[in-house]
Amino acid sequence: MTELSAEPQDLSNVPLTPALPQEGSAPGPSAEDIREQLTVFHSPENFTVKHPLMNKWTLWFTRPPSGVKSDNQWADSLKEVVTFDSVEEFWGIYNNITKTSDLALKSDYHLFKAGIRPEWEDPANKNGGKWAYQFKDKRAVPIDELWLHTMLAAIGETLEKESDREVMGVVVNVRKGFYRIGLWTRSTGTSSDGRTSKEARESLLEIGRRFKEVLRLGEREQVEFSGHSDSAHAGSSRAKAKFVV
């Protein structure tokens, strides 16, 4: 099979068919070989084979506040962008949205499993929490690369064991003094679904460790976990971390 670049590509700039051999050059691939090697990078309009993901995912965007106060300001600023369920659709979306580093302050991207809103009040989130890390030196942080790897880890289901079913979504926040990437879970490490409290806690800690690896953090740097209910009660102050790894 043709080796593909791991980097996202602009499909509009890729030839629709493999180049034909020039006169006097070595024989080119046979028609059978061409059919076998045909990919979305050769013919985006005619390519129909998709590589399905284990779950459907929805991308959301929080735009900066307009300055007009309203009772539903959060709901008004949160916009559903698109839902997808294949690798090809993900890259198509990723190549056509604004990079995180180019977003205005107070903007957010949220990538959540379809049917789950990126809100504490959503039934899938109300008993959960999130792992998070703040990158304070914004100029030195490759935020676009880190956010891409976080999304790929989420949709690739590599942040947890299949039986855990903890990961609800991932978020990136753009603020004046920092970038923050978070990973939302459905529980806070308590017993559920037949798991003991110890098993549930260890599952959550393992997710935190994998998340830390995706963010390429050093051993001395820590990602913190807090429950959504604790964060809600804390108000404007930061909730006390329940776990750190």
Rounded CA-CA distance 63/81 in Å is 12
Total-model pTM: 0.77
Task: Tell whether the torsion through CA atoms of 156, 161, 165 and 170 is positive or negative.
Answer: negative
Give me the pLDDT at residue 242, please: 87
Give me the pLDDT at residue 30, please: 47
Give me the pLDDT at residue 64, please: 80
Residues 73-120: pLDDT tens digits? Answer: 666 789 999 999 999 999 999 999 999 999 999 999 999 999 999 999
Give me the pLDDT at residue 235, please: 59
Q: For residue 48, what are the contacts with CB-CB under 8 A and spacing of at least 6?
A: none
55: left (phi over 0), alpha (psi -120 to 50) or beta: beta
Residues 184-216: pLDDT tens digits? Answer: 999 998 866 778 889 999 999 999 999 999 999
CATH 3.30.760.10 in the chain, residue ranges:
52-244
The answer to whether the CB of 173 falls within 8 A of the CB of 180 is yes
Give me the pLDDT at residue 34, please: 37
Q: Is 205 helix (H, G, I), strand (E, B) or coil?
A: helix
For residues 117, 119, 122, 125, the Cα torsion angle rounded to the nearest 10 degrees is: 100
The answer to whether the CB of 130 falls within 8 A of the CB of 182 is yes
Radius of gyration, CA atoms only, the chain? 21
Exposure of 203 in the CB half-sphere (CA atoms within 13 A): 23
What stretches of the chain show up as alpha helix (H) in DSSP? 31-37, 73-77, 87-94, 143-155, 197-214, 228-234
Q: How far is CA 63 from CA 78, 111, 178, 217, in A?
A: 7, 15, 17, 28
The answer to whether the CB of 88 falls within 8 A of the CB of 45 is no
Of the pLDDT bands very low, low, confident and very high (cuts 50, 70, 90), residue 42 is: low
| pLDDT over 70 (residue 2) | no
Give me the pLDDT at residue 69, please: 64
Q: Is 34 helix (H, G, I), strand (E, B) or coil?
A: helix
CATH of domain 52-244: 3.30.760.10
